[in-house]
């Protein structure tokens, strides 16, 4: 896209997109660290992940202020308007991803027993790899303004959901077999739910990227169906 | 978006108040407007936007044949209002301009009293049989223009003594007084401060119930605020026309996109 007649406007938009991308980097990192702290019972990593969430929150507030400022000063229209609303929503999603990652890190500390549950954590690790891949790809799609890539991310969310459902069943089975692991399994279950939510945020971001680029809504191509709600 | 127009769209099309087809406007050898086709909906506000010299005002003025007053100006193609060709030789431009009123950029009240500013049109068009009827037209026009409360006690004072915003609303009241069906506005707020502008915009929104309004504006925010449909002109061509919300959030043409986002070189 060509440049604005007022070049300061371009600089503001670029700076804003840069900050959102930076938030994406922090959220991705927090998520990866939280899961690895959980799986390897690395308490230091868990603590630093929790502490780092402050940076993401601060950056989020910064982005929000900048967006309001741009709206007040420039009255964005067309593509610019879509970019700004998308940035605002994406920043919200990323802030939530950070919170969910922080919660996983907290649970890593709460579980606090050299897990006999290595076995139990494997499922969560696998699920988190998928969700992390989703988050990475959607952030790429945002920086490259790639609507098609965003659409694929939305499509692939079904996979994360499917794994969550099977993980839910698996953890339920463990708990029935051995009541001593119930506490651990419940924590893991919440972690899994958090990761599933992170996948949903990646999907939200994908929808916003798609709208930002094309001006059209990405049709929802599947029914939201959470088997665990009926299974529970 | 859809290839097939929906039933509503189809109905809308048949109900156009103003229908322009292949309109060309020349000033001598210069072509100012090329092949403009547009359907303008009744009882709605349509705004024309575009950079200076794009032809939006020229096109606006074809709708009540204001261009007739310019010797070297020539209009081709057809413009119909309620399915009647307004360039038909049988059409009397004076009658046409009563039906299609106009408000200009600079408020231009007559150097007469407030009362006479409004009463002038109805008098020459013979719309009132007696003084009482004329009084009614004056008061109702001023009421419709939201000016009555401000001026009812000084109707014999000169119109030129009012504030700019009041003068512009007086001009709108003057246009309304001859019971037009269409009101053309050529940058009606460009000489007004933001509060007077807001009052005029509020008035435009109220008038939309009874009149078809076409407004040329340099302020895209104004177009976005007051109109239901927006048309973007560039270099004498109608580039894109559509629902105002679509034009300002998701225009289809790159030139529209560049213009509304401030990227025009």
Max Cα distance, chain B (Å): 58
Lowest pLDDT segment from A145-149, B4-8, B60-64: B4-8
> How many whole angstroms separate alpha carbon B136 and alpha carbon B119?
10
Name the strands in the sheet holding B73-81, side by side, starting at the edge strand that comes first in the sequence: B30-40, B18-27, B73-81, B84-85
Give rounded-to-5 percent helix, strand, coil for chain B. Answer: 40, 25, 35
For residue B257, the chain A residues in CB contact (below 8 A) are: 78-79
Contact A81 B265 (CB under 8 A): no
What pLDDT, on a 0 to 100 scale, did the predictor assign at position B1?
44
Residues of B whose CB is below 8 A from A74: 262
* Residue B14 scores a pLDDT above 80: no
What superfamily would CATH give domain B7-260? P-loop containing nucleotide triphosphate hydrolases (3.40.50.300)
Closest CA in chain A for residue B246: A78
Mutation target to probe the A interface, by most A beta carbons within 10 A, among B243, B250, B252 is: B250
* Per-domain boundaries in chain B: 7-260
Portion 198-237 of B in contact with A at CB < 8 A: 220-221, 224
B149-207: pLDDT as tens digits: 999 999 999 999 999 999 999 999 999 999 999 999 999 999 888 998 999 999 999 99
pLDDT of A66 > 90? The answer is yes
pLDDT at B10: 52
Q: Tokens for B185?
A: 């506005």
pLDDT band at residue B264 under the 50/70/90 scheme: confident
B248 lies within 8 A of chain A by CB: yes
Q: Cα dist. A131→A20, A101, B84 in Å?
A: 19, 12, 64
Domain architecture of chain A: domains with CATH: 7-226 (1.20.58.220)
Q: Nearest-CA residue of chain A relative to B251? A: A78
- pLDDT above 90 coverage of chain A, percent: 78
**Paired residues of B40 in beta bridges:** B18
- Per-residue pLDDT, A120: 76
Cβ burial, residue B226 (10 Å; 0-12/13-18/19+): buried
In the predicted model, is pLDDT for residue B246 greater than 90?
yes
Query: Is B67 buried (19+), middle (13-18) or exposed (0-12) by CB count in 10 A?
Result: buried
**What is the predicted pLDDT for the residue at A221?**
62
CA–CA separation, B47 and B249 (whole Å) = 16
User: Is the model's pLDDT at B7 over the cut of 70?
Assistant: no
Task: Tell me the percentage of chain A whose pLDDT exceeds 70.
Answer: 92
pLDDT of residue A53: 97
Q: How many CA atoms lie within 13 A of B187 on its CB side?
A: 14
Q: What percent of chain B has pLDDT above 70?
A: 94
Contact (CB<8Å) B257/A5: no
pLDDT in tens, A106-134: 999 998 665 556 777 888 999 999 999 99
Residue B19 has pLDDT above 70, yes or no: yes
Separation CA A87–CA A105 (nearest Å): 27
The whole-angstrom separation of Cα A210 and Cα A142 is: 9
Nearest Cβ partner of A215 from B220, B250, B264?
B250
Angstrom distance (rounded) from CA B150 to CA A166: 73
Residue B118 phi, psi (nearest 5): -75, -40
First to last CA, chain B: 29
The burial of B246, by beta-carbon neighbours within 10 Å (0-12 exposed, 13-18 middle, 19 or more buried), is given as middle
The pLDDT-based confidence of A231 (bands split at 50, 70, 90) is very low
What residues contact A33, with CB distance under 8 A and at least 6 apart? Answer: A45, A48, A49, A52, A101, A105
Q: What are B81-119's pLDDT values in tens digits?
A: 999 999 999 999 999 999 999 999 999 999 999 999 999
């Amino acid at each position: 896209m060509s440049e604005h007649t007022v070049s300061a406007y371009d600089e503001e938009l670029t700076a804003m997109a840069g900050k959102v991308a930076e938030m994406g980097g922090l959220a991705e990192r927090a998520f990866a660290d939280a899961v690895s702290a959980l799986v390897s019972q690395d308490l230091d990593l868990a603590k630093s992940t929790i502490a780092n969430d402050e940076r993401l929150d601060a950056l989020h507030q910064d982005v929000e202020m900048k967006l309001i400022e741009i709206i007040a000063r420039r009255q964005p229209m067309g593509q610019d308007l879509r970019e700004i609303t998308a940035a605002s929503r994406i920043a919200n999603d990323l802030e939530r991803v950070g919170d969910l990652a922080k919660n996983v890190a907290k649970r890593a500390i709460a579980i606090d027993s050299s897990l006999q549950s290595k076995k139990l954590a494997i499922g969560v690790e696998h699920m988190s790899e998928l969700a992390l891949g989703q988050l990475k790809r959607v952030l790429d799609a945002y920086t490259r303004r790639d609507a098609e890539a965003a659409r694929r991310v939305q499509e692939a969310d079904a996979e994360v959901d499917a794994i969550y459902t099977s993980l839910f069943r698996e953890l339920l089975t463990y708990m029935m077999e051995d009541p001593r692991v119930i506490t651990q399994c419940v924590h893991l279950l919440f972690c899994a739910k958090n990761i599933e939510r992170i996948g949903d945020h990646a999907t939200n971001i994908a929808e916003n990227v798609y709208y930002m680029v094309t001006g059209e809504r990405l049709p929802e191509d599947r029914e939201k169906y959470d088997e665990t709600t009926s299974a529970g | 978006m859809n290839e097939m127009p929906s039933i509503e769209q189809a109905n809308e099309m048949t109900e156009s108040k103003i229908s322009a087809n292949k309109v060309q406007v020349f000033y001598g050898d210069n072509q100012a407007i090329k092949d403009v086709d547009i359907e303008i909906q009744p009882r709605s506000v349509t705004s024309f936007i575009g950079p200076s010299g794009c032809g939006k005002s020229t096109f606006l003025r074809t709708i009540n044949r204001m261009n007739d007053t310019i010797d070297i100006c020539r209009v081709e193609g057809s413009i119909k209002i309620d399915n009647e060709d307004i360039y038909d030789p049988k059409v009397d431009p004076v009658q046409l301009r009563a039906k299609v009123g106009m408000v200009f950029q600079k408020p231009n009240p007559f150097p007469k009293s407030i009362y006479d500013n409004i009463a002038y049109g109805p008098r020459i068009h013979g719309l009132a049989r007696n003084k009482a009827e004329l009084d009614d037209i004056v008061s109702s026009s001023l009421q419709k223009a939201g000016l009555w409360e401000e001026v009812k006690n000084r109707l014999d004072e000169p119109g030129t003594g009012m504030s700019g915003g009041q003068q512009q609303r007086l001009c709108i009241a003057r246009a309304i007084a001859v019971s037009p069906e269409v009101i053309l506005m050529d940058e009606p707020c460009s000489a007004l401060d933001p509060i007077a502008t807001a009052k005029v915009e509020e008035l435009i929104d109220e008038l939309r119930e009874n009149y078809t309004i076409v407004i040329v504006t340099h302020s895209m925010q104004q177009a976005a605020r007051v109109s239901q449909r927006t048309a973007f002109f560039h270099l004498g061509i109608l580039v894109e026309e559509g629902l105002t919300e679509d034009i300002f959030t998701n225009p289809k043409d790159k030139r529209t996109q560049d213009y509304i986002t401030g990227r025009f070189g």
